A and B are shown apart, each in its own frame.
Chain A
Amino acid sequence: DAEITQSPRHKITETGRQVTLACHQTWNHNNMFWYRQDLGHGLRLIHYSYGVQDTNKGEVSDGYSVSRSNTEDLPLTLESAASSQTSVYFCASSESALRETQYFGPGTRLLVL
């Protein structure tokens, strides 16, 4: 069965370190998304991609970067982790048009000390 996976599921890091969160989908979806979820803020979009070599900034992109070198993967990099980036991160994908149903990964819980 097609799926979307994230790794690691839990991560503890220190302020200033570079961190990369992996997202892999086997749906063969064109669109991929990264969100962060914080209490009181719901889901906020960090970056998204329409396809290979395409990336776009979302609502809260500062301090984060992504690259899309193939259809299946969209890694999220925190260039220099900050305590404000402690959050739960979700990856999602959708087939073609952005209006279509998104399928979510299980999430990565990141703690920045």
Chain B
Amino acid sequence: AQTVTQSQPEMSVQEAETVTLSCTYDTSESDYYLFWYKQPPSRQMILVIRQEAYKQQNATENRFSVNFQKAAKSFSLKISDSQLGDAAMYFCAYASFSGNTPLVFGKGTRLSVIA
């Protein structure tokens, strides 16, 4: 079974600085999808970014980018020019390419942004 590990329960960053959230996963599959979800305080969880494993190019979405290292089974999220609104729980998730099993989530990283 696949597992997703987020080794940093909490992190903090100064406003306007850059922060990287770590995620590693374990799988025997060669094709899969990886996601980062953001859960702001008392608000709905939303998708931040998504990466298909067969794509070598790292996904980017405005100030959010990933460093996808397939061989190392690592999928870190980089947030540039951090803003107060980036403060949230961030969840890394894995999905099998076959689409037969639901997402597997990590336990989350709580990010604080310091003004």
Contacts and interface: CB of A to CB of B under 8 A. Distances in A.
Given A42-B105, A42-B107, A106 B44 contact: yes
Interface of A: 33, 40-43, 45, 48, 58, 90, 92, 96-102, 104-107
Given A41-B107, A101-B35, A104-B46, 19 more contacts: A42-B105, A42-B108, A43-B108, A48-B102, A58-B102, A90-B45, A96-B99, A97-B99, A98-B96, A98-B100, A98-B101, A98-B102, A98-B103, A99-B33, A99-B99, A100-B95, A101-B50, A102-B47, A106-B44
- Size bracket, chain B contacts: 20 to 34
Q: Is the interface of A mostly helix, strand, loop or mixed?
A: loop
Contacts of A102: 47, 103
B68 interface: no
A107 B43 CA distance: 8
Interface string B39-58: 00001111100100000000
B107 A40 contact: yes
A40 B10 CA distance: 11
B107 A98 contact: no
Interface in B85-106: 91, 95-103, 105-106
A33 B102 contact: yes
The 4 A-B residue pairs whose C-beta atoms are closest, nearest first, are A97-B99, A42-B107, A99-B95, A104-B45
Contacts of B103: 98, 102
A99 to B, nearest CB: 4
Contacts of A106: 43-44
B54 to A, nearest CB: 12
A92 B45 CA distance: 9
13 contacts: A42-B91, A42-B105, A42-B108, A45-B102, A48-B102, A90-B45, A98-B96, A99-B32, A99-B95, A99-B99, A100-B99, A104-B45, A104-B46
Contacts of B50: 101
